[in-house]
């Protein structure tokens, strides 16, 4: 039984007088507790797809079934109530957090809005969340802007799991982080998935990141999904030109001076 | 209150606040300092200033005390200035917020009204308003506000539209936050600062407008204002000019105070203190001699860095700490480090492009004596190709200008050289590109243009500071391949700064690993990466993940 | 080249279309505002001629159409406007349009000269200041411009008049030319120029300070951007970096400011023309106010709005010529 089924999603917009098809006939599915990696070069539409699925941008066509409901048909307070089941982690760049937010206020928001725990328990829940993601409890009062990149993403993950979601969409969530930090965050995500049975839709242009934690990988190009399948298979045997380009582009740690693209 | 402290921290803010504090105090105490009606006849007419202690600034045509008039006039000016500005901001914010949030037809309609109020000169509007309704202080305040609200409205709306696109607003929406709460907690507090920064200018303009209205006789005749005093003094301009000069000076001082406070406010809210990058001062320039980089064979030392440290302005610790490193000619050196390692600082130091206020100690000696001149002996490529190119000049001009400057070519020759370079960096339709503008290209194409521009004068050394970090993986691979080929063909030395150890491994001969301003390890790439000596290097190698690295998950769908 | 002409035409076309509703709003709002006047132009006129009885007032009102209901008058006004008839001035007893066109050239001459002078001098000084932000030269120019911009225009005019016209007697104090001097051609032009030195100088001084600050602030902001660093990295001469890269970009907000300030300058001309007794458009506004001449005042406001619109249109076209990103039809390849 799939957690999320998207069928024939489309998204058009006008850019400088021309119609651009950001998404064209996109269909995918995601089971509970599974990670689907969404890869593509910039402009392939993967971020647009993430925004359409999280209802940040309206779709121009298609259907989405999420947790047994017609996801795109919801609106207003009905939508807001159910949003707790699908959360998002953004890329850590300037503008990802309200300049005024503290760690505690950022974690309090989801707990309050979705009444995850009674009010008296919230502080304890916040401490528990921080502990789970590896941020010292003493940081609760600090402004988020004062944290390092890795710590900010940990707080972002804590905020995302606070509502006990079934699905988290991650849009280039580790791309801006140092390599050593990145590895820790990926480990955290995998651990959380196994503990809490959360499905991930992980958007990235870096196949090596996707390989680390995806069960299946879908490749996007020019607004369409051009290839999809089990992660190991797509990477070992890429069929489409887009997939091949993405596989070739990953630098390998070999000391020989070979040209990067493996020609 | 930290805001007040920040404002006072800067000289402009402190002086402005000081001036206005004194004026406000005087204004408030006016009835105490100069009791009675300042418009009454207090003494003999046309007394000269500084001649009588009872009338320090003299008296006017009717014998009214000038100093009393000025101090009482401060009340009107400050009150009208503040009240009108407040009203203008209130109206402007309301309209701007409504337009920005409502969108659609409401937004269009409101913006047309804003347009209407912006194209009618504010002073004419105030003039008409006062003349029609009648001259009293509240009417003057409203009149000025009507002429002034359109600018803050437009700014507010623009800020709302901009803030709405930020990720933290999207995050709030995904959380399921109620739109009203989003508006008040996420959007509004971040819209206010730029609008508040505008408030000082509005106050100043309001004060000047009130003065002009009074000068034309359209102010409230029952209160003394600086404008009306100036108008009064006009009657005896030739004989007693001081009657007009003193109130005018009061106006200037007041408005200067408001401006200074406004600048203090803007600085406090923006809080950016980066030293701007100024062009090289004369002592860094070298004469046009032989490019010394080319002398010496492959492998000979190109550059020796000894005990070199750099501290940036406003930072406590050094960005580079007592560095010792030798760079060899003709090789490809990768400088690898995470954020804060100092790798970019080193790149800039080698290129002679350290920011203003950066303190450098130690030595960098170059083969042949003189440091290489950026552009002629050394090409430099930056990280963000969208920002490296000047948006208003053509690609052709930006690639050709380096060649023209350093090779002494005429513009036509420089342009054909630019064409050659665009071909060499494998850009399609290079003839068309010469006349194109940066915004018409993609990120990868812009970076190729930047490389072409950096190499236009055929330097012997290329320094690339994270040239692919802002590009996606596929484009990154293409750019690295391109750099590899270009450097090989021309026999250039390449210094490539990156955080990606595998990327460096792909084509570097030597690597230098940096951490927090210090050199951790250096040596031939193969040796360092297969058998690292230092723990940090081992950690970097271990953290690297490619397609062959085992995944973190079991691989079976649950 | 053809591309930029197309862009300019498209921008102009869009702006003209968008301007029509705005102009309508201006007309309606102005009309409504002046409706609230208690006592109309006829009352003021009768007051000025020493009184008159009700029949005379009634007759005058009928003649000027002032006796009908407000919506009716609004409609009449709009239809007259469509025929380019701005009504009749009661105080001057002449068509408004004629009055306006008689006075407008003087104001336009004043404003154009002041703008040209201020723009040229202001941007040049701004470049000097912005070439080295934080230097002594920069701080002096910034402080000076701050103080000058704080000076009220009318006061500055008075002070300059005192110094140059009264004390030194170098320049005439008022008017736009020496009346009944019978001069023609070049001699007349020189006479007008002499009369305009002080008023133009006053306006120009203040706006120079403004444009200096805008140019300087623009440049200071641009020095922080990467492309200034990249220009340095290409080893270009300082002159080229300052002029062709930094100042060329700082020109954009300055041009925008020109458009935004056109309305303010038109308003400022009211007091300047009042001080120097220039028979211009701004002075006409003051006379309309003192004469309670609603028709004239309405006409003046509408003409001002149209004027500002035209200036903004011209500025937009110039801006589009300077910034290739505006109105671009080619998306990224």
Q: How confident is the model at residue B281 (pLDDT cuts 50, 70, 90)?
A: very low
Chain B closest-CA separation from residue C300 CA (Å): 9
- Would you say residue C45 has pLDDT above 70? no
**Which of C159, C248, C301 is closest, CB to CB, to B392?**
C248
Q: What is the pLDDT of residue A56?
A: 94
- Would you say residue B294 has pLDDT above 60? no
Residues on chain B touching C270 (C-beta within 8 angstroms): 123-124, 127, 212, 216
**Which of B175, B472, B552 is closest, CB to CB, to A213?**
B552
Inter-chain CB proximity C305 and B384 less than 8 Å: no
* Residues A12, A21 contacting (CB under 8 angstroms): yes
**Which of B190, B505, B551 is closest, CB to CB, to A213?**
B551
Q: How confident is the model at residue B288 (pLDDT cuts 50, 70, 90)?
A: very low
Mean pLDDT score of chain B, rounded to an integer? 87
Q: Does A15 touch chain C (CB under 8 A)?
A: yes
Distance CA B335, CA C158 (A): 66
Angle between helices C153-160 and B226-234 (to 10 degrees): 30
Residues on chain B touching A231 (C-beta within 8 angstroms): 551, 555
Strand ranges (DSSP E) for chain A? 2-15, 18-31, 35-40, 61-66, 69-70, 86-89, 167-171, 199-204, 216-221, 224-230
Q: Quickly tell me which residue has 């999207």 as its tokens.
A: B170
Alpha helical stretches, state H, chain C: 2-35, 41-48, 54-64, 70-82, 96-131, 136-149, 153-160, 185-223, 226-233, 238-240, 248-275, 281-290, 294-322
What percent of chain B is modeled with pLDDT above 70? Answer: 94
Q: How confident is the model at residue B51 (pLDDT cuts 50, 70, 90)?
A: confident
Backbone angles phi and psi of B461, in degrees to 5: -130, 135
- Exposure string of B508-543, with b = 16+ CB inside 10 Å and e = fewer, is bbbbbbbbbbbbbbbbebbebbeebeeebbeebbeb
Q: What is the pLDDT of residue A186?
A: 95
**Which of C21, C220, C332 is closest, CB to CB, to B440?**
C332
Distance CA A247, CA A235 (A): 7
A180-212: per-residue pLDDT in tens? 899 999 999 999 999 999 999 999 999 999 999
Across residues A234-254, what is the average pLDDT? 91
Q: How confident is the model at residue B287 (pLDDT cuts 50, 70, 90)?
A: very low
The CATH class for the domain spanning B33-258 reads mainly alpha
Distance CA C207, CA C263 (A): 13
Across residues C21-35, what is the average pLDDT? 85
C308-329: per-residue pLDDT in tens? 999 998 998 899 889 988 866 4
Output the CA–CA distances (angstroms, integers) from residue A15 to B100, B105, C332, in the order listed: 21, 21, 10
B–C interface: beta-carbon pairs under 8 A: 238
Q: How confident is the model at residue B555 (pLDDT cuts 50, 70, 90)?
A: low
- Would you say residue A39 has pLDDT above 70? yes
Q: What is the pLDDT of residue C55?
A: 76
Q: Domain residues of chain B, as ranges? A: 33-258, 386-459
Distance CA A18, CA B34 (A): 71
Enumerate neighbours of C (3 or more CB pairs within 8 A): A, B
Output the CA–CA distances (angstroms, integers) from residue A245 to A41, A204, A214, A227, in the order listed: 9, 14, 19, 13
Chain A closest-CA separation from residue C313 CA (Å): 21
Phi-psi category of A249—alpha, beta or left, where left has phi over 0 and alpha has psi -120 to 50? alpha
Residues on chain C touching A15 (C-beta within 8 angstroms): 331
What percent of chain B is modeled with pLDDT above 90? Answer: 54
Q: What is the pLDDT of residue B296?
A: 53
Q: What is the pLDDT of residue B280?
A: 41
List, as one string, the DSSP characters of B456-474.
TT--SEEEEESTTTTS-HH
| Residue C72 DSSP SS3 | helix
- Would you say residue C169 has pLDDT above 80? no
Inter-chain CB proximity A212 and B556 less than 8 Å: no
Residues on chain B touching C155 (C-beta within 8 angstroms): 211, 230, 244, 248, 251-252
Q: Quickly tell me which residue has 């002679």 as its tokens.
A: B352
- Would you say residue B66 has pLDDT above 80? yes
- Would you say residue A257 has pLDDT above 70? no
Backbone angles phi and psi of B545, in degrees to 5: -130, 125
B70-115: per-residue pLDDT in tens? 888 998 889 999 999 999 999 999 999 999 998 889 999 999 999 9
Q: Domain residues of chain A, as ranges? A: 2-257
Mean pLDDT score of chain C, rounded to an integer? 84
Expressed in angstroms, the distance from the first to the final Cα of chain A is 43
Mean pLDDT score of chain A, rounded to an integer? 91
Q: How confident is the model at residue C40 (pLDDT cuts 50, 70, 90)?
A: low
Distance CA C148, CA C142 (A): 10
- Largest Cα–Cα distance in chain C? 85
Inter-chain CB proximity B555 and A232 less than 8 Å: yes
C262-283: per-residue pLDDT in tens? 999 999 999 999 888 888 988 8
- Tell me which residues of chain B, numbers 123 to 182, contact chain A at a CB-CB cutoff of 8 Å: 166-168, 170-178
**CA-wise closest residue to A189 among A164, A163, A158, A215:** A158
Distance CA B168, CA B174 (A): 10
Across residues C124-153, what is the average pLDDT? 93
Can you say how many angstroms the Cα of residue B60 is from the centroid of all Cα atoms in its chain? 49
Across residues B159-165, what is the average pLDDT? 92
Residues on chain B touching C289 (C-beta within 8 angstroms): 127-128, 131, 218
Across residues B205-224, what is the average pLDDT? 90
Across residues B265-290, what is the average pLDDT? 49
Which tokens is C174 given?
A: 């008022």
- Would you say residue B15 has pLDDT above 60? yes
The CATH class for the domain spanning A2-257 reads alpha beta
Residues on chain A touching C326 (C-beta within 8 angstroms): none
- Find the residue in C nearest to A16 (Cα): C329
B115-138: per-residue pLDDT in tens? 999 999 999 999 988 888 888 889
- Would you say residue A259 has pLDDT above 80? no
Q: What is the pLDDT of residue C123?
A: 94
- Would you say residue B537 has pLDDT above 60? yes
ipTM higher than the 0.90 cut: yes
Expressed in angstroms, the distance from the first to the final Cα of chain B is 55
Q: Quickly tell me which residue has 């723990």 as its tokens.
A: B535
Inter-chain CB proximity C286 and B241 less than 8 Å: no
The reported pTM is 0.88
| Residue B7 DSSP SS3 | helix
Across residues B230-238, what is the average pLDDT? 86
**Which of C159, C235, C292 is closest, CB to CB, to B405?**
C235
Backbone angles phi and psi of C244, in degrees to 5: -75, -25
């Amino acid at each position: 039984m799939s957690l999320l089924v998207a069928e024939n999603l489309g998204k058009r917009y006008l850019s400088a007088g021309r119609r651009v098809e950001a998404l064209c006939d996109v269909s995918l599915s995601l089971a509970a507790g599974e990670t689907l990696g969404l890869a593509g070069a910039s402009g392939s539409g993967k971020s647009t797809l993430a925004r359409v699925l999280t209802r940040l941008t309206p779709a121009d066509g298609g259907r989405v079934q999420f947790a047994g409901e017609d996801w795109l048909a919801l609106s207003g307070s009905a939508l807001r109530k159910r949003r707790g089941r699908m959360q998002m982690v953004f890329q850590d760049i300037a503008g990802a957090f309200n300049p005024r937010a503290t760690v505690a206020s950022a974690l309090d928001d989801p707990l309050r809005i979705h009444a995850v725990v009674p009010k008296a328990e919230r502080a304890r829940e916040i401490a528990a969340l921080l502990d789970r993601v590896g941020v010292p409890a003493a940081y609760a009062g600090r402004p988020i802007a004062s944290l390092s990149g890795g710590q900010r993403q940990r707080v972002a993950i804590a905020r995302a799991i606070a509502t006990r979601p079934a699905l988290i969409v991650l849009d280039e969530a580790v791309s801006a982080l140092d390599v050593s930090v990145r590895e820790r965050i990926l480990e955290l995500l995998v651990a959380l998935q196994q503990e809490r049975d959360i499905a991930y839709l992980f958007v990235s242009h870096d196949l090596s990141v996707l390989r680390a934690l995806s069960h299946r990988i879908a490749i996007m190009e020019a607004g369409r999904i051009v290839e999809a399948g089990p992660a190991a298979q797509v990477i070992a045997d890429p069929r489409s030109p887009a997939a091949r380009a993405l596989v070739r582009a990953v630098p390998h740690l070999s000391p020989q001076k070979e040209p990067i693209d493996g020609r | 209150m930290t805001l007040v402290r920040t404002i006072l921290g800067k000289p402009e803010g402190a002086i402005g606040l000081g001036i206005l504090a004194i004026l406000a105090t005087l204004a408030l105490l006016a009835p105490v300092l100069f009791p009675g009606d300042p418009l009454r006849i207090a003494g003999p007419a046309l007394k000269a200033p500084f001649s009588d202690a009872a009338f320090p600034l003299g008296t006017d045509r009717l014998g009214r005390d000038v100093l009393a008039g000025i101090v009482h006039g401060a009340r009107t000016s400050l009150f009208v200035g503040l009240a009108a500005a407040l009203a203008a901001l209130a109206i402007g914010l309301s309209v701007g917020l409504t337009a920005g949030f409502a969108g659609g037809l409401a937004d269009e309609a409101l913006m047309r009204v804003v347009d209407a109020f912006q194209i009618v000169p504010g002073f004419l509007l105030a003039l008409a308003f006062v003349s029609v309704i009648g001259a009293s202080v509240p009417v003057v305040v409203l009149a000025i506000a009507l002429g002034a609200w359109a600018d803050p409205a437009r700014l507010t709306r623009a800020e709302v539209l901009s803030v709405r696109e930020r990720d933290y607003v999207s995050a709030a929406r995904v959380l399921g936050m109620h739109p009203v709460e989003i508006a008040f907690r996420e959007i509004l507090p971040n819209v206010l600062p730029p609008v508040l920064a505008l408030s000082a200018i509005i106050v100043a303009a309001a004060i000047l407008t009130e003065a002009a209205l009074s000068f034309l006789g359209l102010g409230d005749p029952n209160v003394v204002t600086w404008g009306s005093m100036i108008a009064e003094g006009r009657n005896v301009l030739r004989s007693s000019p001081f009657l007009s000069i003193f109130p005018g000076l009061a106006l200037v001082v007041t408005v200067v105070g408001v401006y200074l406070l406004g600048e203090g406010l803007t600085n406090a809210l923006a809080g950016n203190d980066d030293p701007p990058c100024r062009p090289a001062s004369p002592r860094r320039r070298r004469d046009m001699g032989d490019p010394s980089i080319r002398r010496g064979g492959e492998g000979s030392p190109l550059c020796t860095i000894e005990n070199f440290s750099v501290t940036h302005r406003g930072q406590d610790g050094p960005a580079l700490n007592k560095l010792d490193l030798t760079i060899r000619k003709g090789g490809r050196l990768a400088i690898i480090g995470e954020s804060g390692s100092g790798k970019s600082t080193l790149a800039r130091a080698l290129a002679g492009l350290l920011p203003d206020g950066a303190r450098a100690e130690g030595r960098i000696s170059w083969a042949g004596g003189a440091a290489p001149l950026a552009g002629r002996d050394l090409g430099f490529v930056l990280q963000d190709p969208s920002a490296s190119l000047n948006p208003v000049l053509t690609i052709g001009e930006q690639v050709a200008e380096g060649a023209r400057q350093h090779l002494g070519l005429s513009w036509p020759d420089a342009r054909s050289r630019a064409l050659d370079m665009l071909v060499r960096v494998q850009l399609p339709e290079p003839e068309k590109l010469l006349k194109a503008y940066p915004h018409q290209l993609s990120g990868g194409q812009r970076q190729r243009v930047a490389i072409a521009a950096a190499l236009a004068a055929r330097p012997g050394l290329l320094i690339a500071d994270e040239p692919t970090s802002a590009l996606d993986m596929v484009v990154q691979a293409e750019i690295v391949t391109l750099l590899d080929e270009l450097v090989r063909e021309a026999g250039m030395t390449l210094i490539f700064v990156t955080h990606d150890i595998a990327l460096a491994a792909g084509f570097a001969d030597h690597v230098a690993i940096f951490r927090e301003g210090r050199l951790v390890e250096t040596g031939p790439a193969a040796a360092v990466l297969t058998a690292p000596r230092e723990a940090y290097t081992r950690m970097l190698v271990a953290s690297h993940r490619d397609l062959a690295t085992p995944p973190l998950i079991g691989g079976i769908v649950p | 080249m053809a591309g930029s002409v197309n862009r300019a035409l498209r921008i102009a076309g869009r702006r003209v279309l968008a301007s029509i509703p705005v102009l309508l709003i201006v007309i309606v709002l102005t009309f409504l505002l002046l409706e609230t006047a208690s006592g109309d132009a006829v009352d003021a006129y009768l007051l000025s001629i020493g009184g008159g009885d009700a029949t005379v007032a009634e007759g005058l009102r009928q003649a000027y159409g002032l006796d009908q209901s407000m919506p009716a008058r609004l409609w009449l006004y709009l239809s007259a406007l469509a025929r380019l008839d701005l009504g009749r001035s009661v105080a001057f007893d002449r068509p408004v349009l004629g009055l306006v066109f008689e006075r407008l050239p003087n104001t336009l001459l004043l404003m154009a000269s002041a703008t040209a002078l201020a723009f040229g001098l202001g941007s040049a000084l701004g470049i000097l200041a912005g070439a080295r932000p934080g230097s002594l030269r920069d701080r002096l120019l910034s402080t000076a411009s701050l103080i000058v911009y704080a000076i009220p225009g009318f006061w500055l005019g008075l002070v300059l008049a005192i110094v140059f016209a009264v004390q030194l007697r170098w320049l005439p104090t008022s008017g736009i030319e020496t009346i009944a001097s019978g001069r023609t051609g070049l001699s007349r032009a020189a006479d007008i120029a002499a009369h305009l030195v002080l008023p133009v100088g006053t306006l120009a001084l203040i706006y120079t300070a403004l444009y200096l600050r805008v140019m300087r602030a623009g440049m200071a902001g641009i020095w922080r951007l990467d492309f200034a660093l990249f220009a340095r990295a290409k080893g270009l001469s300082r002159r080229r970096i300052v002029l062709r890269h930094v100042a060329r970009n700082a020109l954009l907000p300055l041009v925008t400011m020109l458009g935004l300030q056109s309305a303010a300058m038109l308003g400022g001309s009211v007091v300047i023309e009042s001080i120097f007794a220039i028979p211009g458009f701004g002075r006409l506004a003051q006379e309309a106010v003192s004469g309670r001449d609603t028709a004239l005042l309405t006409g003046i406001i509408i003409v001002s709005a149209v004027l500002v619109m035209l200036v903004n249109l011209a500025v937009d076209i110039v801006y589009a010529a300077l910034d290739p990103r505006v109105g671009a039809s080619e998306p990224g390849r």
